[in-house]
């Protein structure tokens, strides 16, 4: 089915040229004539570009307004297809693209989503636009973006490291301080100390979700090779001992310590991670930077306790603090009829515009504390966010350069989760699981090399 989908999407790609602005020149009459002077001014064509995303319009409208003030000939129409649901938004977006619907700019929030759409021709390459502008990426941004086959297709959107979200009220009740740096062994001790009760009313120290990130916990603490594939994009990473240790850590916390929500409950009950944390059913949530603002409460989920933030745990005491992290990818549709104008927009949004959305940016010239202050001030309950601990996380955390990605990342991710969950459900032991990961994922790699 996936190959049919890719074929359908690829068949719709229309390579269009850049729209050039029209110009007109005046007659040979006196240049002092105002009407003639006006005729010598090149006419800039007014255009409208469509920006598709999944966040509420209120998030991006301040940035759009500022952009339109700076570029009055470019109107931006923002369309949130499915609010707060990136996966459903992308499903609808793909159907729109396959049907030939007009849109220009959109966001992608994961390596598989990005690599698939770059490889099937859905995204406009940006190298020529960057070269024309004379921009040096490394001088402008503090987070590299993924490339596919050496080609850049995106500029960085909202940005930040993965971190540990903590219910500070529950930490205080347990006599635990907010860690400024810690190891996975210490994280495990915290989780046990924060666990209480039995049965349906049991309170867990930690909630791990069903995404592949929660099967790669220890790998995310390293400076390289954090993923299912090695950073070179050529080799499977199953021989990395941290992959096995990551699965062992999650298993031990669930079965030995009984301090994390059982995986079977997570998938059979489809437990929302936000509910588990904000309803106080789990004290610690490893999560991404989008949860920073949500810690201050939303219309759907008010904040009823103070949230603090801790860095991603290290594998060994004294290690540099690394975490998984990247920026969303701001991309241009290959079918866009206004590609230069779309580039102007994502360039603005990826720099000064991102701060206006009350989100962290990857722009090197941004003022981090001002960004944090703006995020906190925009929430319903600013007093429920512990700013000091948040700034510590953002200042001490390092992020690796993104790996080379392959077009079949989504297939590898699905296969990896399928094998890993057999271990967490008690169907296979750890050694069998690792052998199955090596064998079955290698088949996917080999099939895609042909």
Residue 325 structure tokens: 């992290």
Q: What's the CATH superfamily of 2-160+326-366?
A: Periplasmic binding protein-like II (3.40.190.10)
Residue 326 binned pLDDT confidence (cut-offs 50, 70, 90): confident
pLDDT at 32: 41
Asked if pLDDT for residue 268 goes beyond 60, the answer is: yes
State the average pLDDT over residues 151-155. Answer: 94
Q: Which CATH class is domain 163-322+401-449?
A: alpha beta
pLDDT at 352: 93
pLDDT at 332: 98
Report H helices in 178-235: 184-193
Domains of the chain, residue spans: 2-160+326-366, 163-322+401-449
Q: What is the mean pLDDT of the chain?
A: 89
Residue 72 structure tokens: 């009055």
Sheet holding 163-167, edge to edge: 204-206, 282-287, 163-167, 307-310
State the average pLDDT over residues 33-43. Answer: 44
pLDDT at 109: 84
pLDDT in tens, 395-432: 999 988 778 878 888 899 999 999 999 999 999 999 99
Q: Distance between CA 291 and CA 415 in Å, rounded?
A: 27
DSSP string for 56-88: -HHHHHHHHHHHHHHSTTEEEEEEESSTT-HHH
Percentage of residues in the chain having pLDDT higher than 90: 75
Domains 2-160+326-366 and 163-322+401-449 belong to one CATH topology: yes
* Beta carbons within 8 Å of 155's beta carbon, 6+ residues apart: 126, 141, 145, 329, 330, 346, 347, 349, 350
Asked if pLDDT for residue 29 goes beyond 50, the answer is: no
Asked if pLDDT for residue 271 goes beyond 80, the answer is: yes
pLDDT at 43: 58
Q: Report which of residues 15 and 97 the model is more confident about.
A: 97
Looking from the CA of 340 toward its CB, the CA atoms found within 13 Å total 14
Q: Are 289 and 360 in contact (CB under 8 A)?
A: yes
Q: Distance between CA 84 and CA 261 in Å, rounded?
A: 24
Residue 66 structure tokens: 């500022």
Report H helices in 12-157: 34-39, 57-70, 86-98, 111-119, 127-133, 137-140
- Coil, strand or helix: which one is 284? strand
Q: Distance between CA 212 and CA 215 in Å, rounded?
A: 5
Residue 375 structure tokens: 């995020």
pLDDT in tens, 250-260: 999 999 999 99
State the average pLDDT over residues 55-83. Answer: 95
Q: Distance between CA 130 and CA 283 in Å, rounded?
A: 45
pLDDT at 31: 37
Q: Are 118 and 153 in contact (CB under 8 A)?
A: yes
pLDDT at 95: 94
Q: Distance between CA 159 and CA 239 in Å, rounded?
A: 30
Q: DSSP state, 356?
A: T
DSSP string for 406-445: -TTHHHHHHHHHHHHHHHHTTSS-HHHHHHHHHHHHHHHH
Asked if pLDDT for residue 135 goes beyond 70, the answer is: yes
399 CB neighbour count, 10 Å cutoff = 21
Residue 337 binned pLDDT confidence (cut-offs 50, 70, 90): very high
CB neighbour class for 279 (10 Å; exposed up to 12, middle 13-18, buried from 19): exposed
Residue 36 structure tokens: 């003639």
State the average pLDDT over residues 180-194. Answer: 98
Residue 16 structure tokens: 């269009």
State the average pLDDT over residues 98-115. Answer: 89
Q: Are 155 and 330 in contact (CB under 8 A)?
A: yes
Asked if pLDDT for residue 155 goes beyond 80, the answer is: yes
pLDDT in tens, 338-391: 999 999 999 999 999 998 998 899 999 999 999 999 999 989 999 999 999 999
């Amino acid at each position: 089915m996936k190959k049919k989908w890719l074929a359908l999407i690829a068949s719709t790609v229309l390579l269009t040229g850049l729209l050039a602005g029209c110009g007109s020149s005046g007659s040979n009459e006196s240049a002092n004539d105002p009407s003639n002077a006006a005729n010598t001014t090149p006419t800039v064509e007014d255009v409208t570009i469509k920006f598709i995303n999944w966040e509420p319009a209120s998030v991006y409208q301040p940035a759009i307004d500022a952009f339109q003030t700076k570029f009055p000939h470019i109107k931006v129409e923002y369309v949130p297809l499915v609010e707060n649901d990136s996966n459903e938004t992308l499903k609808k977006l793909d159907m729109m693209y396959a049907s030939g619907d007009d849109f220009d700019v959109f966001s992608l929030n994961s390596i598989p989503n990005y690599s698939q759409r770059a490889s099937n021709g859905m995204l406009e390459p940006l190298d020529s636009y960057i070269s024309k502008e004379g921009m040096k990426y490394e001088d402008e941004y503090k987070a590299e973006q993924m490339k596919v086959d050496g080609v850049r297709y995106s500029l960085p959107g909202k940005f930040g490291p993965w971190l540990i979200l903590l219910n500070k009220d529950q930490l205080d009740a347990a006599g635990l301080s907010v860690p400024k740096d810690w190891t996975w062994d210490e994280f495990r001790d915290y989780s046990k100390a924060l666990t209480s009760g039995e049965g349906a009313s049991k309170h867990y120290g930690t909630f791990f979700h069903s995404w592949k990130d929660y099967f790669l916990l220890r790998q995310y603490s390293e400076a390289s090779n954090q993923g299912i594939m090695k950073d070179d994009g050529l080799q499977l990473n199953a021989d990395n001992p941290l992959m096995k240790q990551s699965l062992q850590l999650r298993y031990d916390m669930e079965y030995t310590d009984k301090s994390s929500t059982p995986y079977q409950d997570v998938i059979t009950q489809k437990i929302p991670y936000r509910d588990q944390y904000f309803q106080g059913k789990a004290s610690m949530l490893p999560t991404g930077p989008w949860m920073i603002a949500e810690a201050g409460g939303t219309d759907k989920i008010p904040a009823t306790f103070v949230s603090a933030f801790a860095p991603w745990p290290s594998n060994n005491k004294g290690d540099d603090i690394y975490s998984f992290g990247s920026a969303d990818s701001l991309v241009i549709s290959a079918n866009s009829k206004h590609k230069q104008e779309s580039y102007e927009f994502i360039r603005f949004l990826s720099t000064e515009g991102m701060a206006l959305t009350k989100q962290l940016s990857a722009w090197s010239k941004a003022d981090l504390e001002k960004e944090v202050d703006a995020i906190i001030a925009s929430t319903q309950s600013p007093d429920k966010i512990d700013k000091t601990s948040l700034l510590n996380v953002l200042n001490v955390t390092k992020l690796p350069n993104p790996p080379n990605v392959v077009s079949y990342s989504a297939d590898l991710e699905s296969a990896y989760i399928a094998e890993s969950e057999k271990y967490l459900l008690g169907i296979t032991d750890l050694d069998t699981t690792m052998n199955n990961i090596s064998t079955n994922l290698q088949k996917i790699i080999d099939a895609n090399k042909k």
